[in-house]
Amino acid sequence: MTAKEHALNKSQTPRRSFLKFGLLTGALVGCQAVGVVPGVPAANPTSSLPVAATRTVEIRYQLVGDAVAYSANPNGCDRTTIQGTVRDLAGNGVGSLTVHVWADDGSWDNALLTDGGGFYSVDVMDNVSTLTYKVQLVDSSGAILYSDVVVAQAIPDCNLNLMTLDFVAS
């Protein structure tokens, strides 16, 4: 090593040591705020995300057999109907529970209550339908979800225009 190279290395050593020390202590990290000590919580922490729950899940109901049952509508070919029952763990019907039914394309939306025996029924179209419908059990405000959304694809056939979705508590 020449005298010039040795002098250059000697003059850069304090700078390199300073940079190494700065990196190790976090003082030179680009994403760390000045004055923040790693591992020490801030005196007044703030959240950057809004904390607001708009929906909660309470009691879970599941679709019986994980399938929609299709059959002929007793009212004939001039309508498509979604119907079913909601039952508790003992097999008793759950009355006054809101059933939200809507068309996937947004063209139709309805909420209805189960009767005292847990039965519900709604005509979704005045003829056979090709639409996809969604069904979910919710509270009266729609804020508490009691089931997952169940997808029911209508089949445009007079022998399959009654869709039955039975739910049971899990």
The overall pTM is greater than 0.95 = no
Is 128 part of a structural domain of the chain? yes
The range of the structural domain enclosing residue 5 comes to 1-39
* 99-145 pLDDT, tens digit each: 999 999 999 999 999 999 999 999 999 999 999 999 999 998 988 99
pLDDT at 9 over 90: no
Closest among 167, 62, 76, 66 to 123, alpha carbons compared: 76
Is 51 part of a structural domain of the chain? no
Residue 126 is predicted with a pLDDT of 95
Cα 47 from Cα 128, distance rounded (Å):
51
Q: pLDDT tier at 56 (50, 70, 90 boundaries)?
A: confident
Whether residues 15 and 64 share a domain: the answer is: no
Give CA separation, 159 vs 65, 70, 78, 125, 133, in Å: 21, 8, 12, 15, 18
Look-up of token digits 């509508």 = 73
Whether residues 102 and 72 share a domain: the answer is: yes
Is 67 part of a structural domain of the chain? yes
Please write down the long-range contacts of 114-120, taking CB distance under 8 Å and 24 or more positions apart: 114/85, 114/86, 117/85, 117/93, 118/85, 118/86, 118/87, 118/92, 118/93, 118/94, 119/83, 119/84, 119/85, 119/93, 120/83, 120/84, 120/85, 120/86
Q: pLDDT tier at 24 (50, 70, 90 boundaries)?
A: low
